[in-house]
Structure 1
Amino acid sequence: MAQTWAVLAALLFLIIHLVKGSAYNMVSVEAGHEAVLSCPYVSKMSLLMVTWKMKCSTCCLLAYRRDHNETRRLNCSERIMWKYSPDDDPALCIYPVSLGDEGNYTCEIASSEGNFLFFSSLTVIVPPTVTLTCDKSRVAVCQASAGKPAADISWIPASNDSTEEEVHHPDGTVTRVSYIGWVNNTLPTVTCLVTHPAMNQTLSLDLSCAFPRLPYLLIGGSASVAVVSGVTLCLIFRCRAFRLRQLARGSAVPFASKNFRSTPSCEKRDVVDPPVLSECIYQNYNPRFINMDY
């Protein structure tokens, strides 16, 4: 047993000798902003080399060697750079940060005083897109789309009838949707509260505008059209009946308008006997205004 403890103590001493110090840091940054990963400060005179690594086989490696004043980049995009001069402050800067930059990073420093390790865990936060809508069945829908982490949704006033569902996307973002029905509720508005590490947002929906009484309006409009159409048809039929009665009376006593001028349907002959003349037909005539010159 004593021999085992001696071996463990020797290993611990060796680790402390090789790595004089280590630390761990957690950084959360909103997508599109600047992420800064710090590294322990080492005296400029004792610094030999500093190297940043992202933990994956083909990920970024950024290194600086002080004795040659040389910087080396491997599989690093232009968004990843030194925040300051590496021999003064070897902090790493990523701007603008994206979901693909999320992960664990290691800063290794070699100096005349020993070797140092510093671990950083980068988490990228994505604010969701928030919408508040309604459907024809009088259900309010509050949706927080593509957020990371998933947003929390609550209603004002609170209700036990709300239901939620989640959709997980391949990039790690989550869409959360909450439904609440207001069929038998007389409240004028409903409010959706979305809580997220990157933002807090409140949206209100006017239920009187969102759910208009459209069927009743349509029925009222149809009834109005029917009434107007009925009155119009009634007037047309009454006028037509009155006109027919006038024409019926005019068959006994034909009516002639002013500026009357008859048009004969047969030509006058030089010698016309009264019986022949009486057989000529005149259009649009009134017997009261015809002079019989026999």
Structure 2
Amino acid sequence: MDVEVCKSINLTCGNFTNKDILHVIWEIEPYVGKSCRLAKSKIHPPEDSCKDRRQVKSKIGRNNTEEQFYLHIPEVEYRHEGIYKCEAVYNGGAWKEHIYLNATVPPDIFTSIKRTSDAKLMLVCQAANAKPAGNIFWSPWKNSSQKHTTNSNGTITVESWVIIPANETLENVFCNVQHKAWSTIHYGHFENLHGEENGLQEIRLWMAIPVILCIVFLVYTH
């Protein structure tokens, strides 16, 4: 189960409610750190060796007779990742289930333009600080390069770039980013790319002015 960081979630033990349920036990084995236990019972006092904001709550069903216990995490954090083993015991039977909880972080998208040594344009697209890594692909250009960087907090930054001719229009160039936290594809900020392209043109113009003035000066002095 993938849950976005800072989102709240309720984990239920089985897809049922039963008015005869006796207790629910959650054995939590985090990917990093020590295991802990949470339990809710109609007979015994509640248990909590996790000592954080996670807690087992109960709710009454629509007919006001069936009760279901669920594990509530108000804000998912990286440390909550792990295996959640639950056991629900009720009169006449028991239910066991394992839930694998993974925290996800959608990427921030950044774009920029750089000038190569041979005067071509390098379009750069970043899917930054994501967990797991975002996927970047380009349209219509296919020959892109990529590098992955693992950040200190466990997130991953993917940087992708394509090199195109200096006179190529950027109107139909798209940087597309996919991530499992999103149901649709997100695009780069191409209005910024156009702005930077214009800025490059302005820079080229201002760089040309001193050259033109120098040529004019040489012509008139000879």
Q: 1:226 to 1:28 in 2, by over 3 A?
A: same
Q: Which moved more, 1:57-66 or 1:81-90?
A: 81-90
Give the structure-2-normalised TM-score. Answer: 0.76
Select the structure that is richer in strand.
2
Matched, 1:121 2:100: yes
1:206-227 CA distance string (max 9 Å, x none): 1631532524422314644896
Aligned to 1:168: 150
CA contact (8 A) 1:36 1:83 kept: no
Measured in 2, the distance between the counterparts of 1:84 and 1:48 equals 12
Matched, 1:43 2:28: no
Task: Give me the CA root mean square deviation.
Answer: 2.9
Structure 2: stretches of 5+ with no match in the other structure: 61-65
Give the AA of the match of 2:181. A
Aligned to 1:67: 43
Give, in angstroms, the shift of residue 96 of structure 1: 1.0
Matched, 1:55 2:29: yes
Measured in 2, the distance between the counterparts of 1:216 and 1:209 equals 11
Measured in 1, the distance between the counterparts of 2:131 and 2:148 equals 12
Q: Which of 111, 120, 123 lines up with 2:90 in the alignment?
A: 111
Give the AA of the match of 2:165. V
Aligned to 1:202: 187
Give, in angstroms, the shift of residue 111 of structure 1: 3.2
1:103-129 CA distance string (max 9 Å, x none): 110112233323331211112221011
Aligned to 1:152: 135
Select the structure that is richer in helix.
1
Answer with 1 or 2: which has the greater Rg: 1
CA contact (8 A) 2:40 2:57 kept: no
Query: Which structure 2 residues correspond to residues 1-294 of structure 1 after superposition, within 5 A?
Result: 27-40=1-14, 41=16, 43-45=18-20, 47-55=21-29, 58-68=34-44, 70-78=45-53, 80-85=54-59, 88-137=67-116, 138-160=121-143, 162-169=144-151, 171-189=153-171, 190-199=173-182, 200-203=185-188, 204=190, 205-206=193-194, 208-212=197-201, 214-221=203-210, 223-224=212-213
Give the structure-1-normalised TM-score. Answer: 0.59
Give the AA of the match of 1:99. Y
Q: Which moved more, 1:169-178 or 1:90-99?
A: 169-178
The alignment-based identity, stated in percent, is 25
State the number of aligned residues.
Answer: 201
CA contact (8 A) 2:84 2:101 kept: yes
